[in-house]
A and B are shown apart, each in its own frame.
Chain A
Amino acid sequence: MEIKNAVAGTLESGDILVQIAPGEGLQVDLQSSVSAQFGRQIKAVITETLEGLGIADAYVKATDKGALDCTIRARVTAAAVRATGKDVWKD
């Protein structure tokens, strides 16, 4: 699947800014205000969401401000749709 640069989310408290770029394998670069306690879980949610959308190669930069898993999934999905041009909600 071809990946273009794409962004979703904000830097508001409780949100996450997800930036997707072309890459080899799934590489997640996470900065989080709650990284000590939740960094591992947040990375896992990002990776699982991308894999679920069939994306195996991408570089993801995520800046998290304490988002819940549901928010992370929504932002990652939106960024992935923009990056691939494949609308997972319609298709």
Chain B
Amino acid sequence: MRNTKVVTLEEAIRRSGLKDGMTVSFHHHFRGGDKVVNLVVGKLAEMGFKDLHLAASSLSDVHTPLIGHIRNGVITKISTSGLRGDLANEISHGLLKEPVVFRSHGGRGSAIASGELHIDVAFLGASSCDELGNASGCPRSENAKSICGSLGYALPDARYADHVVVITDDLVAYPNVPKSISACDVESVVVVDSVGDSSKISSGAIRDSKNPRDILLAKQAAKVIINSGYFKDGFSIQTGTGGASLAAVKYIRESMLEKGIKASFALGGITAHMVKLHQEGLIGRLIDVQSFDKVAAESIATDQLHQEVSAVEYASADHVGSAVHALDIVILSALEVDVDFNVNVLVGSDGIIRGAIGGHPDTAEDSALSIIVCPLLRGRIPCVVPKVTTLITPGKSVDVVVTEYGIAVNPGRPEIAQRLVEAGLKVVDINDLAAKARSIIGEPDTLPFGDRVVGIVMDRHGKVLDEIHNILD
């Protein structure tokens, strides 16, 4: 092949024109199995870069090595949807001088498209890529090693970054079609041993729960859906991360069969449960911004009706054509919900960052019915509280909260409360749930927050929604 773009990582970085102080970006489709961030940032450190802004679609436990790169001044700013593990703990204690900027997936897509988040060089892991840069998250040869399925969160980066480097562990013959990332957007292709461990995609927040309480909550959420008034032929649905919300779809299946109701599409993070319903003919289309497990990643590779969407097409508030605007029902989890129905999915009740915004505020705002599923308590940590530690999804976007002690409905949606009561479900006042939690755990002491701002939460429209302060020991 002529004019090959295939070079070493070091050469790709040199060619990109990257300078100190610039912004580099990454996607998180390999979730806990990602190898690209650590590999690339390690190389950037080795080459002597300083003061870089790392703009990832999300970061997780596996990115602990970034702590060293922050201490050494290689990374001085981070934008992400989430943070977990030791990195999150260190940042919560004030590791970074500049606050981390947290955006939802739709908010990040919008910010990249509008130029508010400008990316100088994007380093995008891909499961297959040809020598010209046509890249995909799907396997295209018997040598495929790391399969992630949809590359939805990488697509705004590929389109809008000044310079795009695709990193792959399976270089295939041209043309690698169908492609997710177009060769026209790609400057360099780097071949490495492994871009990610696919077996670790379905871990952490998207495990398949066997916890009996999660199953109880999932069954309750299913009853809410079925009796909400939105469970009609042609409805659309999304399930967020968290055992109970992912499992809820299992329990609406029987009702769909019984009543002859079919869904027009399922959106968002696509799971094996969704693929099964699609293959049974119960869900017409799968619109996949992120494949949550191996089954979903395999389905998107072979099924025409299982389509990839970019983060912008998925959840941008700026585009009336984004998919969330057509979404009927979304089931989401929460770390905390307060008595005003505000939700926190980012900062733990101990004040330490331990989660990700994801598509939570995007889908909650634009869907017709948003259902939050969470237990009343996790150990001694209350999930229904007087006021959330950090505001992520405003209460006006949240319609129903399902707990094992009852179902609370936003007073702004009395018609839903009435339907659920008529169906015999236990509808309670959210203030009573918060009081019940307090009666079991007692009154918590105030968290020892410091004066420094370690994180800024942007809403999906580009405005500051909340600040996260450092936590003192």
Contacts of B260 in A (CB 8 A): none
The residue on A at minimum CB distance from B378 is A66
In the complex with contacts A68-B440, A68-B441, A69-B442, A36-B381 CB distance below 8 A: no
Q: How far is the CB of A85 from chain B (nearest CB, A)?
A: 31
Partner of B447 from the list A36, A67, A69 (CB cut-off 8 Å) is A36
- Closest CB-CB distance, B242 to chain A, in whole Å? 16
> Chain A 11-24 against B: per-residue CB contact (8 Å), 1 yes, 0 no?
00110000000000
Q: Is A34 an interface residue (CB 8 A)?
A: yes
A34 and B380: CB pair below 8 A?
A: yes
Write out, one digit per residue, whether chain A residues 34-52 have a CB within 8 A of any chain B CB (1) or not (0).
Answer: 1011111100000000000
| A61 cross-chain contacts in B, Cβ below 8 A | none
Task: Please name all residues of chain A whose beta carbon is closer than 8 Å to the beta carbon of B349 when the two chains form the complex.
Answer: 34, 37
In the complex, are the beta carbons of B442 and A67 less than 8 A apart?
Answer: no
Q: Which residues of A contact B351 (CB under 8 A)?
A: 36
- Compute how far the CA of A68 lies from the CA of B471 in the bound complex, rounded to whole angstroms: 24
| B56: min CB distance to chain A, Å | 28
Expressed in whole angstroms, the minimum distance between the Cβ of A20 and any Cβ of chain B is: 22
Q: In this complex, what residue of A is CB-closest to B350?
A: A36
Instruction: Please indicate which of the listed interface residues A37, A65, A67 has the most CB atoms of chain B within 10 Å of its own CB.
Output: A37
Residues of the B chain whose Cβ atoms lie less than 8 Å from the Cβ of A68: 377, 379-380, 440-441
Scan residues 348-400 of chain B and give those whose CB is less than 8 A from a CB of chain A: 349-351, 377-381
Q: How far is the CA of A77 from the CA of B378 in the complex (A)?
A: 24
Which has the most chain A C-beta neighbours within 10 Å: B377, B379, B447? B379
Q: Is A33 an interface residue (CB 8 A)?
A: yes
CB distance from B217 to the nearest CB of A (A): 17
Query: Size class of B's contact patch?
Result: 10 to 19
Q: Closest residue to B473 on the A side, CB-wise?
A: A36
Instruction: Determine which of B377, B440, B441, B445 lies in contact with A36 in the assembled complex, contact meaning CB atoms within 8 Å.
Output: B445
CB distance from A67 to the nearest CB of B (A): 7
Chain A residues within 8 Å of B471, by CB: 36
Q: Which of chain B's residues have a CB closer than 8 A to the CB of A65?
A: 379
Nearest residue, chain B, Cβ from A65: B379
Are A34 and B442 CB-contacts (below 8 A) given A13-B379, A66-B379? Answer: no
When A36-B350, A38-B441 are in contact, do A67 and B380 touch as well, CB less than 8 Å? Answer: yes
User: Does B379 contact A33, Cβ atoms closer than 8 Å?
Assistant: yes
Task: Given A36-B351, A66-B381, A69-B442, output 19 extra A-B contacts at Cβ < 8 Å.
Answer: A14-B380, A33-B350, A34-B349, A34-B381, A36-B447, A37-B444, A37-B445, A37-B447, A38-B380, A38-B441, A38-B444, A40-B445, A41-B442, A66-B378, A66-B380, A67-B379, A68-B379, A68-B441, A69-B441
Chain B residue with Cβ nearest A32: B380
B448, CB-defined interface residue at 8 Å: yes
For the complex, give the distance between the alpha carbons of A69 and B448 in Å.
23
With both beta carbons as reference points, the residue of chain B lying nearest to A42 in the complex is identified as B380
Q: How far is the CA of A14 from the CA of B299 in the complex (A)?
A: 39
| Complex Cα–Cα for A39 and B351 (A) | 15
Complex: chain A residue closest to B440, CB-CB: A68
| Complex: A67 Cα to B442 Cα, angstroms | 12
